[in-house]
Amino acid sequence: MTRGRPPAVAIGEAKRKAAAWGFMLIAVETDQILPFDFVINDRGRISLVRVRRLKYAGYGISNILRLCGQEIAELRKIPAPDEICRELWVRGPGRTWHRYLVLKDTIEALENDEDLQGENNTSGPPDLRQQTAAG
């Protein structure tokens, strides 16, 4: 597991941001230390979310793979069905949020907070974006 204390303040901010974006927060009550910080339901898509704070800006895929490699590896190890997504949410020094979909061999950037405002929220894996646009 990741060393150090979980970023409690950032996790709280992420939960408030998730609610503001219209995601349903799913409570997980356990005494165990889990490799994710909370669970969201985004229009029927369940995601396990891990929060990470960065001291310096650098949100490209290569930077995130390097800086958050341990958190990404821990998310990938979670035994869960393929229908359950894994997301890494990163907050930098500017207090902006960046979301990444963690896949088996790579990660994909999801829309940032400014892109999630309004009714045209089409975040998620490509197949869900196409269904949302078509349906």
Write out the DSSP string of 86-113: EEEEEE-TT--EEEEEE-SS-EEEPP-G
Q: Which fold has domain 8-134?
A: Trna Endonuclease; Chain: A, domain 1 (3.40.1350)
Q: What is the pTM of this model?
A: 0.79
Going from N- to C-terminal start, the domains of the chain cover 8-134
For residue 46, the surrounding DSSP H or E stretch is strand 45-53
Residue 119 has pLDDT above 60, yes or no: no
User: What distance in Å separates the CA atoms of residue 58 and residue 92, rounded to the nearest whole number?
Assistant: 8
Residue 94 or residue 112, greater confidence: 94
Query: For residue 76, is pLDDT > 90?
Result: yes
- Helix/strand/coil for 50: strand
- Contact of 39 with 49, CB cutoff 8 Å: yes
Q: Is the pLDDT at 132 greater than 50, yes or no?
A: no
Range from 50-64, 71-85, 86-100, 115-129 carrying the lowest mean pLDDT: 115-129
Residue 91 confidence (pLDDT) above 60 = yes
**pLDDT tens-place string over residues 63-72:** 999 999 999 9
Q: How far apart are CA 121 and CA 1, in angstroms?
A: 33
Pull the structure tokens for residue 89.
């949410």
Average pLDDT on 100-110 reads 95
The residue ranking higher by pLDDT, 113 or 56, is 56
